[in-house]
Amino acid sequence: MNEMIDWLLLLGLGAVAITSLMSQSIFRAVVFFILLGLLLSLVWIRLDAPDIALAEAVIGAGITGILLLDTLGQLKKTGKLTTEPSPSRARLGLALLASLTLVGLLIWAVLHQPQPAIALHQQVADALPESGVDHPITAVLLNFRSYDTLLEIGVLVLAVLVGLTLQSKDAPPDSLPGLPNPLLHACLTLLIPAMLLTAAYLLWAGADRPGGAFQAGAMLAAAFILLHLSGTRLSPRRSEFLMKAGLVMGFGVFLAVAVSTLIGGRPFLTYPDGSAGMLILLIELALTLSIGLILLSLFTVAHTPAQLPGKRRQDEQ
């Protein structure tokens, strides 16, 4: 039975991917792309990776699907959507050959991969009692390889801040109107609290099971975007201040904890004995809010056209 489910998922992935790529309708292609993300979530669950499955469902299918559908709507509204001629059979054949070649090379690489000289999973298991958490992925991301996570968060925050800075001042801060749908508002009164509770659970569960700040932040971002679509707004000045403060808070807390470890003469990002679990939870609390706001910012920036600084100065003159 399990093998039949795996084969059905494999065939379904291939069929949905091909349908999305070959579809002549852009709207239909986007819908099948969202369906592909949902099927990938089921695949990750079958691979015993529920944390990645949740991130795929929320970001790969949910947030990315909303962005694509909204972009399609904006293009139709502005009249910039044009029908492109269908590619020739020669180009389709070349693309198919390149794809099959890549798949073949990946399969060959997986089947002929060398045996690792060092058993990394065993080293992680041996050092896990000193990490402050009970889940190996959380221990690697926020203790053993915390440098990587700190830099990744810094890059994400910097990219979003640049996008917010390049927004045109002449454009409205939010060109997406609220959806005046009573059914949507009624559903949100039940859905938003459940999503917030789920985000809190994912954050707490990350210490000893699949979950953590990224999955909780993705769920929080989905709740923010639903509120955004329903028309819930703060005042522009207050909203901009809270957005930027929340964006940098996760990176700021992470960096403050990293620097504070130097006070006791320890290396950078080396937690004191007995305090690793508490400090990791503090970092994850701040990162959850920051990741949620980062994903929300990616959604809101897509609705406001960017303007280069030079062009902005010319307009002001």
96 falls within a domain = no
Least confident span in 25-34, 113-122, 166-175, 282-291:
166-175
What would the mean pLDDT of 70-97 be, rounded to a whole number? 73
Q: What percent of the chain lies above the pLDDT cut of 70? A: 83
123 falls within a domain = no
For 170, phi then psi, to 5°, come to: -75, -25
pLDDT category at 21 given cuts 50, 70, 90 is confident
239 falls within a domain = yes
Distance CA 145, CA 201 (A): 24
Least confident span in 39-53, 113-127, 292-306:
292-306
- Calculate the alpha carbon distances from 15 to 8, 10, 20, 85, 179 in Å: 10, 9, 9, 23, 34
* Structural domains in the chain (count): 2
97 falls within a domain = no
112 falls within a domain = no
157 falls within a domain = yes
84 falls within a domain = no
Is residue 64 located within the same domain as residue 195? no
Asked if 41 contacts 56 with a C-beta cutoff of 8 angstroms, the reply is yes
Task: Give the residue ranges of DSSP H helices in the chain.
Answer: 2-22, 26-46, 50-55, 64-78, 89-111, 120-127, 136-139, 146-165, 182-205, 213-230, 236-260, 276-301, 309-316
Is residue 174 located within the same domain as residue 242? yes
Last residue of a domain, one of 58, 76, 94: 76
Does the pLDDT value for residue 180 go beyond 70? no
Is residue 207 located within the same domain as residue 58? no
Last residue of a domain, one of 34, 59, 76: 76
Each residue of 59-96: b (16+ CB within 10 Å) or e? Answer: bbbbbbbbbbebeeebeeeeeeeeeeeeeeeeeeeeee
| The pair of three-digit structure tokens given for residue 290, joined into one six-digit string | 């920051």
Is residue 196 located within the same domain as residue 292? yes
For 293, phi then psi, to 5°, come to: -75, -30
Least confident span in 23-32, 52-61, 297-306:
297-306
Is residue 134 located within the same domain as residue 216? yes
pLDDT category at 102 given cuts 50, 70, 90 is very high
Is residue 274 located within the same domain as residue 190? yes
17 falls within a domain = yes
Is residue 44 located within the same domain as residue 181? no
What would the mean pLDDT of 64-84 be, rounded to a whole number? 74
Range of the domain at 22: 1-76
Is residue 240 located within the same domain as residue 173? yes
pLDDT category at 84 given cuts 50, 70, 90 is low
Q: What percent of the chain lies above the pLDDT cut of 90? A: 9
Is residue 160 located within the same domain as residue 260? yes
Distance CA 29, CA 68 (A): 10
DSSP string, 116-146: PSS-HHHHHHHHGGGTSSS-HHHHIIIIITH
What would the mean pLDDT of 224-238 be, rounded to a whole number? 68
CA quadruple 152, 135, 44, 3: dihedral sign: positive
Q: Which residue has the tokens 């307009």?
A: 315
For 186, phi then psi, to 5°, come to: -65, -40
- Kindly report the CA angle at 22 between 16 and 24, in degrees rounded to 5? 120
pLDDT, residue 177, reads 47
Is residue 286 located within the same domain as residue 226? yes
Q: Round the CA-based radius of gyration of the chain to a whole number and report it.
A: 23
Is residue 57 located within the same domain as residue 200? no
Last residue of a domain, one of 45, 76, 107: 76
Q: How many CB atoms lie within 10 A of CB 232?
A: 13
Is residue 154 located within the same domain as residue 58? no
Asked if 154 contacts 143 with a C-beta cutoff of 8 angstroms, the reply is no
pTM of the model: 0.71
pLDDT, residue 83, reads 58
CA atoms within 13 A of residue 301's CA, in its CB half-sphere: 19
